[in-house]
Amino acid sequence: MFGLSPGLTAAGLLLISNLFMTVAWYGHLRFKTVPLVTVIFISWGIAFIEYCFAVPANRIGSAALTAPQLKGLQEVISLLVFAVFSTTVLGQAVTPRQALGFGLIVVAAFLIVGD
């Protein structure tokens, strides 16, 4: 993608993928009056778009990273996207304790990716 390395391309696609998945999983929390079955189908449609980025990310990324490394990278990106989404869209800031917990997960993921 755009002459980037497979690892950077995978990271970019995983970022886009996680933006869609975070909206699919948590966006409906802003619309609690919408019937659950409706948000399930809307979330399912959004998740399909997410897959259109996640699958190529993993296929391309596998040229440079192992599957466990790709999963570790995905977890770091997922936590960062979620923290921003929770704060900006849901108005629920990550507490210091939660940030520390996320940080420990990020450290673990970096140990996996740096393998």
| Predicted confidence (pLDDT) per residue in 15-37, tens digit | 999 999 999 999 999 999 999 99
- The pLDDT of residue 1 is above 60: no
In a domain, 93, yes or no: yes
Task: Note the pLDDT of residue 109.
Answer: 84
* pLDDT bracket for residue 81 (50, 70, 90): very high
In a domain, 1, yes or no: no
- The pLDDT of residue 2 is above 70: no
In a domain, 32, yes or no: yes
What's the domain range around 107? 6-113
Total domains present in the chain: 1
Q: What is the b/e burial string over 48-60, where b = at least 16 CB atoms within 10 angstroms of the residue's CB?
A: ebbeebbebbbeb
Helices (H), 1-115: 6-26, 36-61, 67-88, 96-113
- pTM (two decimals): 0.88
Give how far the C-alpha of residue 12 lies from the chain's centroid of Cα atoms, to the nearest Å: 11
Task: Provide, rounded to the nearest whole percent, the portion of the chain with pLDDT above 70.
Answer: 97
Task: Dig out the tokens for 47 from the structure.
Answer: 């998740």
